[in-house]
Amino acid sequence: MHYNLVQGTVASRELRTLKRDFERTKDELAKVALSNRALRDRVHQLEDKVRKESMKAEKEFEKHTKCVEDFRNTLASMEHYFKLEIEQLKKQNGGVNEAAEGHEDPVVLI
CA 40, 42, 47: angle at the middle one, nearest 5?
Answer: 95
Q: pLDDT tens, position by position, for the chain (110 residues)?
A: 555 666 668 788 899 999 999 999 999 999 999 999 999 999 999 999 999 999 999 999 999 999 999 999 999 999 999 999 999 999 999 865 555 555 555 555 65
CA distances 68 to 16, 55, 82, 96, Å, are 77, 20, 21, 35
CA 37, 38, 39: angle at the middle one, nearest 5?
Answer: 90
Where along the chain do its domains lie? 2-92
